[in-house]
Structure 1
Amino acid sequence: MRKIKLQMNILLDNKWDSGMSDFSIDNLANVDCILHGRKTAEGFIPYWAEVANNPNDGEHKLGIRFAEIPNVIFSNTLKDSNLDNTTIINGNLAEAIKALKNKDGKDIIVYGGDSFVSSLIQHDLIDEYYVLANPAALGNGQQTFNPLKNELALKLVDCKPFACGAVLVSYSRQR
C-alpha cells in the first residue's frame, strides 16, 4: 500500500536554503503523486512550473522534480483545470484517498493547505509527517515579524526530542 507523506514548514518568516531544497528533493525520491486542495494547487503548481522553466532560479532542480510528478487536486467546486499534469477529484475525500493509496505506485506527498491537511489528519490518512522548523525572520513574511528593520539571525543551540514525539528546538539571537 502506498503511503501519504506530509511535509510542512513551520516558519517565523518565509526563508529557504539549499539544505531544505536538497531534503525536499530527496523526500520526493519515492513519490509519484502530489495531493493538493484547490487553494494550494492554484498557487503551488504554476509557481513551481515557472521555477522549472527558469534555469537561473536557485530552486530550478526542485522545480523540475515538481513538474515531473502528477498532481491530484481535491475540490468540491473545481470541475476541470487548465493546470498541466493535473487530475481533479470531487466527492468523498476519505474514500478517494484510500483508493489512491491502494493503487499500484510510489508514495504520495502533500505540502499543505491548512483545511485540506486538517481533513487528511481528521480522517487519519497521513502515514508520515516531515516538519521543517525554520527560525529565520527577514521581515517579509508573517505579520508577527513584519516589518523588521534588520534580518533576525538565530543560531541553533540545542535540539531535544521528548518521549511524546515533540521536539524542542532552541535558538539564540546571533549578532
Structure 2
Amino acid sequence: MRKLKLQMQLSVNGYCAGPNGEMDWLTWNWTDDIKNYVTDINKNVDTIVMGRKLAEGFIPHWTDAAQKPDADEFTHKMVDLPKVVFSKTLTASPWENTVTAGDLVAEIKKLKETDGGDIMTYGGADYASALIKANLVDDYHLFINPAAVGNGLPIFQSLDSKLGLKLVKAQAFEVGIVVLHYQPE
C-alpha cells in the first residue's frame, strides 16, 4: 500500500493560517538544509494530491518557477508529477498533468491501494483535517515556524478522539523552523 505524506506549515501554537487565511507569519527564506529535507521526503513521491484552493496558487507558482533558467530538479519534479486536485466546484482541471477528483476520503483510499510510490499531500485546514479525521495520513511532516498566531485555522479540529502519534524525527533548521516527523501509533 502506498504511503500518504502530509507536509504542512504550522505556527508554534498549531495554526496553518490566520483566521482569514493569513500566511504572512510563514518563514519564506529557506536555507539549503531545509530545502534538502523537503527534497529528501519527496524522493519516493510520484503523485501529489491537494485541495483546489491551494492548487490555484501552488500549480502556477511551480509552473512559473520551472520556466526560469536556474530552475532545479526539484522545481521540475513539482511540475512534472501527476496531481489530483479535490474540488467541489471544478468539473475539469484547468492545469496540465492534473485531474480533479470527487469524494476526498474514497478517492484517497483508492489511490493508496494502487501501485506506485509515495503520495504527498498539501492543503489548507479543512482539507488536511478531513484527511486526518479519516486516518489517511501515514507520515506527518509538520514545519513549525518561529511565530505564534493569536487565532487561526487548526488542522486537528475535526478529530472525534485522541490521535496517537509516534515521533520519528525532530530537526531544527537554520531559518528557525523545526520539522516534526510523526507517524500514527
TM-score, with structure 2 as normaliser: 0.69
Aligned to 1:115: 126
Q: How does 1:21-36 map to 2 (within 5 A)?
A: 21-36=35-50
Does residue 132 (structure 1) correspond to residue 146 (structure 2)? The answer is: no
Q: Which runs of 4+ in 1 moved over 6 A?
A: none
Q: Secondary structure at the residue paired with 1:88?
A: strand
Per the TM alignment, residue 68 of structure 1 is displaced from its structure 2 partner at its CA by: 1.7
Does residue 65 (structure 1) correspond to residue 65 (structure 2)? The answer is: no
Aligned to 1:105: 116
How big is the alpha-carbon RMSD for the aligned residues of Structure 1 and Structure 2?
2.7
Structure 1: stretches of 5+ with no match in the other structure: 145-162, 170-175
Q: Percent identity at matched positions?
A: 39
Per the TM alignment, residue 123 of structure 1 is displaced from its structure 2 partner at its CA by: 0.7
Per the TM alignment, residue 62 of structure 1 is displaced from its structure 2 partner at its CA by: 2.6
Match of residue 52, structure 1, among 66, 70, 73? 66
Output the amino acid matched with 1:63. T
Aligned to 1:37: 51
Distance, in Å, in 1 between the alignment partners of 2:51 and 2:166 is: 30
Structure 2: stretches of 5+ with no match in the other structure: 12-24, 151-164, 173-185
Contact 2:51 2:122 in 1 (8 A): no
Higher relative contact order (CA 8 A, sep 6+): 2
Distance, in Å, in 2 between the alignment partners of 1:126 and 1:56 is: 33
Per the TM alignment, residue 66 of structure 1 is displaced from its structure 2 partner at its CA by: 0.4
How many residues align structurally? 144
**How far does the alpha carbon of each residue in 1:42-63 deviate from its partner, in whole angstroms, 9 at most, with x for none?**
1101101111111236xx4432
Measured at CA, do residues 131 and 143 of structure 1 come closer, stay the same or move farther in structure 2, by a change above 3 Å?
closer
**How far does the alpha carbon of each residue in 1:8-43 deviate from its partner, in whole angstroms, 9 at most, with x for none?**
122543322222211111111111110110100111
TM-score, with structure 1 as normaliser: 0.72
